[in-house]
Copies of this chain bind each other. A is one copy, B any other.
C-alpha cells in the first residue's frame, strides 16, 4: 500500500542555495517504524542517489526528540555528520519547534547531542581514537595524491576511520589531483574510509579541507561532517592545545560548492570534546510516496 509522508531535501553546511551538501529527509514521525521494511528504506536511499537519505521516526529513548536512521545508496550507517545537521533542521521545521538550546537525536551510535543557536546547528562528536600510520602506508597515500604531506598523517576513528594529514597551505590542498584508483586500493587495503587533507590559511584560524572516499563510491565529498571532526581531533593531537580552540573549515570549492563548517575543541577538566556545526537550508519541501 502506498502512503504519502512529508519530505524535505536540505542543503547542509552552507548559507547559499545549492552550495552545501544535500541530504534527503523522510518524515516517518507519524508512522510505526515496524511497518516500514529495511528494504523500503534502502530502496528510497538508492533512488534519491544522494550520499545520504535519512528517516525520522519517533524516539524509543525517552530523553531523545527523535530517532534517526541514516542510509547511503548501499547500506545503513550508525552515524554521519552532515545528515545529522540537515535532519535536525528538517525536524525543527516538521515539528514547528523554533528551538534554541539542545536537541537529542537517537541513532545507531546512541544519543547525539545537538545545539541550535543563531541559525547554526552543532553536534558533539563521539570520542575519537587516534592511531599512527606506518610509513609504507603513508607513502602509498602520498602516491595516490602525487604530493607529500606537510605534517605526518594519522588515522582518526570518529565512527568512520579517516586518514588525516596537512598539506603546506590551502592552495596545495585545493590543487590536489588524486589518482582515485590508487587511493581506493590503498584505503581498502589498510581499512580506512578515505583521506581528509587540509591546509591552514596563514595568520587565521581557518582551514581549506577536502575529503576523498573512492572506496566508498564517493570520489570527493562536497562538505564532510565526520571528516571535519577527524580534522579537529588531528589538530589537537598535532598542536596539543591546552585550552579551547575554535576554527573554520572551508570545503567543496573544487566541486563548485561553498561549504563552511565551524569546529570547536573544548577542554573540560581532563576531557577533550569536539564539536562541529553550521547552517542548513531546506531547498525542496513537499511529500514523498512510499
Q: Which of A7, A286, A287 has the largest count of B CB atoms less than 10 A from its CB?
A: A286
Interface, chain A (partner B; CB < 8 A): 2, 7, 11, 17-19, 22, 43-44, 46-51, 181, 255-256, 281-290
Least CB distance, A195 to chain B, in whole angstroms? 20
Q: Which of A18, A256, A282, A287 has the largest count of B CB atoms less than 10 A from its CB?
A: A18
Report the separation of the CA atoms of residues A171 and B226 in the bound assembly, to the nearest whole angstrom: 41
Report the separation of the CA atoms of residues A51 and B48 in the bound assembly, to the nearest whole angstrom: 11
Copies in the complex: 2
Least CB distance, A138 to chain B, in whole angstroms? 25
Report the separation of the CA atoms of residues A111 and B47 in the bound assembly, to the nearest whole angstrom: 30
Asked whether, in the complex, the Cβ of A2 is within 8 Å of the Cβ of B17, the reply is: yes
Q: Which 9 A-B residue pairs are closest in the complex by CB-CB distance?
A: A286-B286, A18-B43, A18-B47, A284-B288, A49-B49, A285-B286, A283-B289, A285-B287, A49-B50
Q: Which of A22, A46, A47, A283 has the largest count of B CB atoms less than 10 A from its CB?
A: A47
Q: Given known contacts A46-B255, A47-B283, what 13 new A-B pairs fall within 8 Å (CB)?
A: A2-B17, A18-B43, A18-B44, A18-B47, A19-B43, A22-B48, A281-B289, A283-B289, A284-B286, A284-B288, A284-B289, A285-B288, A286-B287
**A19 nearest in chain B by CB position:** B43
Asked whether, in the complex, the Cβ of B284 is within 8 Å of the Cβ of A7, the reply is: yes
B contact residues around A255 at 8 Å (CB): 46
**A-B pairs with beta carbons under 8 Å apart, 6 shown:** A7-B284, A11-B47, A17-B290, A22-B47, A22-B49, A49-B49
Asked whether, in the complex, the Cβ of A289 is within 8 Å of the Cβ of B17, the reply is: yes
**A284 nearest in chain B by CB position:** B288
Least CB distance, A272 to chain B, in whole angstroms? 35
Least CB distance, A230 to chain B, in whole angstroms? 23
B contact residues around A290 at 8 Å (CB): 17
